[in-house]
Amino acid sequence: MTEKEKRDNGELYLAELDEELVKEREKAKELCRMYNQKKYNEDKEKEEILKVLFKSKGKNTKIEPNFYCDYGYNIILGDNFYANHNLVILDCAEVKIGNNVYFGPNCGIYTAGHPLDFKQRNEGLEYAKPIKIGNNVWIGGNVVILPGVTIGDNSVIGAGSIVTKDIQENTVAVGNPCKEIKKLT
């Protein structure tokens, strides 16, 4: 089994030992570089780069530079997606984002994680768990979303939060670790 197959099966894997994964990351990093160097009003050119980079994206996508991802092909965006400056998506597993989702600046979506056991970590092993963000979600600035998290529809994640567990739909959640503090009606 290749390291990529292990990754896709949710097992521990060595990303640096799989030539295919290395080449795929290099391609994504180059596309991100090209995207980030476009002028502010070069919307058609940026749109074309995102079409190549992402698995799929809906209408009305706006991502302010700088934007970075690991592979791109694991990212699925719905319609009306907006991300302010400095979004980072470590998409070693699928990242699925619904319609009408907005990110403040300096946010991170991290499907990648590392073992707690230092021996495995020192060997370079890592894992990946998918992240899902529903429709009509607002993510405040400086939010980090960790591997395996689902954020339900119509939710708001307060600025500076670190989302370590699932957040139910119609919820305001804040903090480190992020906790639900209010239901929305």
Burial class for 133, CB neighbours closer than 10 Å (0-12, 13-18, 19+):
buried
Q: Is the dihedral of CA 98, 102, 104, 106 positive or negative?
A: positive
Burial class for 8, CB neighbours closer than 10 Å (0-12, 13-18, 19+):
middle
With tokens 């954020």, the residue in question is 151
So which residues are the catalytic ones? 114
Asked if the peptide bond before residue 177 counts as cis, ω within 30 degrees of 0, the response is: yes
